[in-house]
Amino acid sequence: MNYWLVKQEPTAYAWEDFVKDGKTAWTGVRNFQARNHLRAMAPGDHVLYYHSVTGKCVVGIAEVVRSAYPDSTASEGDWSCVDLKPVGALRHPVSLEEIKAEPSLAEIGLLRQSRLSVMPLTKAAFEKIVQISKK
């Protein structure tokens, strides 16, 4: 199993919308590195859902339910998407400030490549963020 973080502006598709839908195709990624991360995802992988721009916090856990396939929203190019389903909201959202304050998270992609919308996490980083949410 692998661990990931995806970012979405809550004004475009909030965690609550995702939960209401029950599943979504994670479309619209137009960055080659993020696309390659999507292609590396496999069913059963765990994903942290991060609200970007407004809020700037991890709000929930999702699961990959379908591996990469062609993104139907792309009018040209070789783009992919995956299907995700919500697993559950974090007890307390974990803010970007809390993540920055945790030394063991200093090397995660969210802090090193802040504009990337899909990124891998280590199991330890994933578990640390979930642990922080329980405080």
CATH number, position 52:
3.10.590.10
Cα(80)–Cα(59) distance, integer angstroms = 24
**pLDDT, averaged across the chain:** 97
pTM value is 0.96
| pLDDT confidence bin for 112, thresholds 50/70/90 | very high
Structural domain total, the chain: 1
Domain carrying residue 119:
3-133
Strands (E), the chain: 3-8, 24-26, 46-51, 57-70, 80-95, 118-121
**In the predicted model, is pLDDT for residue 135 greater than 90?**
no
Identity of residue 8: Q
Measured between alpha carbons, how far is residue 11 from residues 15, 77, 93, 117, 125 in Å?
A: 10, 27, 17, 15, 27
